[in-house]
Structure 1
Amino acid sequence: MHYNRPSPIHYRIARIASWFVAKLVFKRRILRNELKGKEGPFVVIANHEAALDFVNLIGISKRRMSFVISNSFYNSLPLTKFMSKMGVIPKQQFQTTIRDMKAMKSVIDNGEPLVIYPAGLMCEDGLSTPIPAATYKFLKWLNADIYAARTTGTYFAMPKWAKGLRPGRTYIDVYKLFSKEELAAADLDTIRQKTDNALLYDAYRDQEEVLVKYRNNSNIEGLEHVLYMCPHCHTEFSMQVKNGNTIHCTKCGYEQETDEYAFMHNSAGIGREYRYASDWSRVIFEKLREKLIREPEFELSSNTKIHMIDYDKHKFFEVGEGHVRLGKDHFKLTGKIKDEEVDFTIPIANIPTLPFSPGKYFELQQGSSIYRCVLVDGRLVMKYINMVKIFYDLKRTAITH
């Protein structure tokens, strides 16, 4: 497949713009940079805490690196032509086609560097998104030196659930994970363990180590869409934020207040304190997991507006409405799109999660078509996402046992 070499002019423009964001918003500090002076082909695998993580990485190497991003992100921004000139490779999220694989391999075959975000999605609760199981075999197939780029702190500087940016210190550590020879000799379990150790994270526990103050860090408006269940009375969709920094349950009165480091403190004397939002999120996840094990035929359904990308305008537009249902094996999307009746079944067996915005929408992909489901009741979005993660985890656990 033809290698799309990054244009030096476009790449330089992107590098300069990224430098300003890295300096002024992310206040980047480089811990290690083992890419200095690196020649020949190599792969950088990076963790993903925030939408703009790439700005911390793009200037790390003097060479022009080809970044792999989601097809949805690539086509929904009015920068598609610019990104193409930069050598950006769009791919289906959580699904890698033969065309995607050839496009990425062409970078390595031409002796150039490639950047991949294996998790494919920034986190919503400070916990890394699961890495698809096929990733480890794919890395081995690329047959090149592998470097890990671990970013810390961008979750707090740009939370997925919040509006706007929250400038503060972030860190990036870039080091060699495997040489080409080590990769060839390693079994998949070794590759998985080393990759997971390098990329998986809990942003709140990382924050405990550095105690960085980010601007407006105590404001948690929007986090209620992620922490949608009370950890004390287990009522769903009863959580609200008041005074910007306090999340409370309207059913039982459970309440936690956040400090300048984004840690939580029990402020009503009811129930257990959850210092980290990530721990609270785990409680929600485990309660739902227990339910799905007890009730394997449970389904979640809701009415939805359906949006699709206008590839000329590079934006999502409403094209219809319908009903979306999720069970253990697939999504079912029915309704009308552009006045035509639709009835899609979308399997989820190999999908660890979905692109989404808490409280607003999630995206389904069938072939090259992306359907953004903007739920009538946006509170349900996070429950759908948790169910997808749980079904994936249960299937993977069943396979390994």
Structure 2
Amino acid sequence: MSIERKPGKTVERLLRTPIKAFIEHRSDIVIERNDTKDMEGPYIILSNHVNNWDPLLLNCYVDEPISFIAADPLFRNPFLKRILNYVGAIPKQKFKNDTRTIRLILKAKKHNRVIGIFPEGNRNWDGKTDPLIYSTSKLVKLLDIPVVIATIRGGHLSHPRWGDGHRKGTIAISFEKVWDAGAFHQNSPEEVHERLTEALYHDEMAWQSEHMVPYKRKSPAHYLERLLFICPHCHVPGSLHSYDDLFECQHCGYTVHYTDFGTFEPIGEEIYYSTPRDWNKWQLDFLKSAMTDPEWQALGRKVMQDHVKLYVSNDEAPFKLVSAGNLWWVSKQVKFQSDMGNDYEFPINEMVGLNIQFHHKLDFYHNHKLFRIVFYLPRTSAYKWLKVIQTRQALDAGKVDIT
């Protein structure tokens, strides 16, 4: 099968039925609205992105098989590539212009496919919709077909990106046809971008403050340090540690309790932030000013050290292991010291297309090669490295809003 030919109804039913049963067993699914029931392709579904299961979750409640735009690295796995090609997925190099992707999307439109796009380009980390990739607005205007906005509520809390497992609770989904073909004829790409940003915005913790749905799991705070890496009490980076339902700074002792509602409660002292979303917003703002402070920079360099595995892919070949080794932050570059004795240096202004796969794989392009740094130790934070690099890049470029 391919973009031109959809999976047959029998095959689709055989695939969809067990997946839907599994999803509805592990979560309480509520379909609040579904405008796709009376629609035929071609049309676009744009959705917020909160969970690994989002593509399957959406396709369980849309009758037509969705041709999703998927990250190019997924196609470098031979097994996944066969599955993705079968269902008509479209490869896209993240955060890079890719004319091949545009051609394949136009082919999908020609063959009356439903095209699925996550305009954030990545799953968000704290439940709030990330800034949309600007090129999505140009694509929507170019395609000139109906646009459905899918909103997933509760998906982040059911499995936050930093977490290590599913939490049973409510996931509410709506599919709203917001625009018909021709809706953007008079709009510039900038105006389309603004309208898409407004339509796709979702704040999980704002929604949770109204609904207060519990999402239960043993040790719910486990691996919060993958997201939160600066203590709000002592401002020391890399000292936070999670266990059971507690999150503690091992430098100053500041500790909070993480609840089944995705909120923090104080333990014996004041609480700085009541949600991971608010804590994360503070730490990213703090990072911008701290990285211009020589004293804090020296402290930060001491904790910007992790043992990792480095992989590389040429052209579209599968990733190959370069070596395990130590990753260091040195001035304005990332340095990898291989256990085999070889060193690799990546100036941050030459690292392009930075993004995280899953929660622990940091991908980027350098000298036309795709590199992958795997943070294989479970408590290390790829997100910390991503945000430090992005902050340094933004400061050097005279930009400050990277969150």
Indicate the larger mover: 385-394 or 133-142: 385-394
Q: Give distance in 2, aligned partners of 1:288 and 1:256.
A: 21
Letter in 2 for 1:166: R
Matched, 1:19 2:23: no
CA distance in 2, matches of 1:318, 1:363: 14
Question: Is residue 287 of structure 2 the alignment partner of residue 288 of structure 1?
Answer: yes
| Structure 1 equivalent of residue 322 of structure 2 | 319
Tell me the equivalent position of 1:305. 309
In structure 1, C-alpha distance between the alignment counterparts of 2:381 and 2:219, rounded to whole Å: 25
The residue that corresponds to 2:66 in the other structure is: 65
> Which residue matches 2:133?
132
In the TM superposition, what is the alpha-carbon distance from 1:155 to its structure 2 partner? 1.2
Structure 2 CA distance, aligned partners of 1:341 and 1:4? 46
Structure 1 SS opposite 2:147: strand
Task: Indicate if the aligned counterparts of 2:352 and 2:364 stay in contact, CA closer than 8 A.
Answer: no
| Residue 234 (structure 1) aligned with residue 235 (structure 2) | yes
Partner of 1:255: 255
Q: Aligned-pair RMSD on alpha carbons?
A: 3.5
TM-score of the two chains, using structure 1 as the length reference: 0.84
Q: Distance in 1 between matches of 2:265 and 2:276?
A: 11
The residue type equivalent to 1:153 in the other structure is G
- Whether contact under 8 Å (1:204, 1:277) holds in the other structure is no
Q: Does the C-alpha gap of structure 1 residues 98 and 346 become closer, same or farther in structure 2, counting only changes over 3 Å?
A: farther
Structure 1 position 218, deviation (Å): 6.3
Deviations 1:291-310 (A, max 9, x none): 34667xx7966564213579
Residues 131, 246 of structure 1: alpha-carbon distance in 2 compared, 3 angstrom cutoff? same
One-letter code of the match for 1:138? Answer: L
Superposition deviation, residue 383 in structure 1? 2.1
Contact 1:78–1:313 (CA under 8 A) maintained in structure 2? no
Question: What's 2:177 paired with?
Answer: 176
Instruction: Report matched runs for 1:2-401 at 5 Å.
Output: 3-8=3-8, 9-76=10-77, 78-216=79-217, 219-242=220-243, 244-269=244-269, 271-292=270-291, 302=305, 304-308=308-312, 318-321=321-324, 351=353, 353-356=354-357, 358=359, 360-366=360-366, 369-375=369-375, 379=380, 381-390=382-391
**Per-residue displacement from partner, 1:129-169 (whole Å, max 9, x unpaired)?**
33222222222122211111110111121222222222221
**1:47-69 CA distance string (max 9 Å, x none):** 10111112221033222221111
Letter in 2 for 1:35: T
Residues 192-249 of structure 1: CA distance to partner in whole angstroms, max 9, x if unpaired? 222112223332222222221222176111012211111111111111123x101111
Moved more, 232-241 or 187-196: 187-196
CA distance in 1, matches of 2:87, 2:278: 39
1:30 Cα deviation from its structure 2 partner = 0.9
Q: Distance in 1 between matches of 2:372 and 2:24?
A: 34
Q: Percent identity?
A: 20
Aligned residues between the structures: 390
Alignment check: 8 A CA contact 2:74 2:81 kept: no
Does the C-alpha gap of structure 1 residues 335 and 229 become closer, same or farther in structure 2, counting only changes over 3 Å? closer
Is the contact between residue 327 and residue 335 of structure 2 (CA under 8 Å) also seen in structure 1?
A: yes
One-letter code aligned to 2:167: R
Q: Which runs of 5+ in 2 are unaligned?
A: none
Separation in 1, partners of 2:16, 2:312: 31
Relative to structure 1, the CA distance from residue 398 to residue 375 in structure 2 (aligned partners, 3 Å threshold; closer, same or farther) is closer
Higher mean C-alpha deviation, range 378-387 or range 149-158: 378-387
Deviation of 1:386 after TM superposition, in Å, equals: 1.4
Flag the 1:133–1:204 CA change in 2: closer, same or farther, 3 A.
same
Once residues 382 and 354 of structure 1 are traced to their aligned partners in structure 2, the CA distance between those partners, rounded to angstroms, is 9
CA contact (8 A) 2:36 2:62 kept: yes
Contact 2:356 2:383 in 1 (8 A): no
Deviates more, 1:8-17 or 1:299-308: 299-308
Residues 67-110 of structure 1 show CA distances to partners (whole Å, capped at 9, x for unaligned) of: 11112234447343232111111221222411011111211122
Give unmatched runs, 5+ long, in structure 1.
none
Q: CA offset at residue 15 of structure 1?
A: 2.1
Residue type of the alignment partner of 1:15: R
Partner SS, residue 36 of structure 1: helix
Separation of aligned partners in 2, 1:72 and 1:45: 21
Kindly indicate whether the alpha-carbon contact (under 8 Å) linking 1:46 and 1:150 is maintained by their aligned counterparts in 2: yes
User: Alignment partner of 1:240: what SS?
Assistant: strand
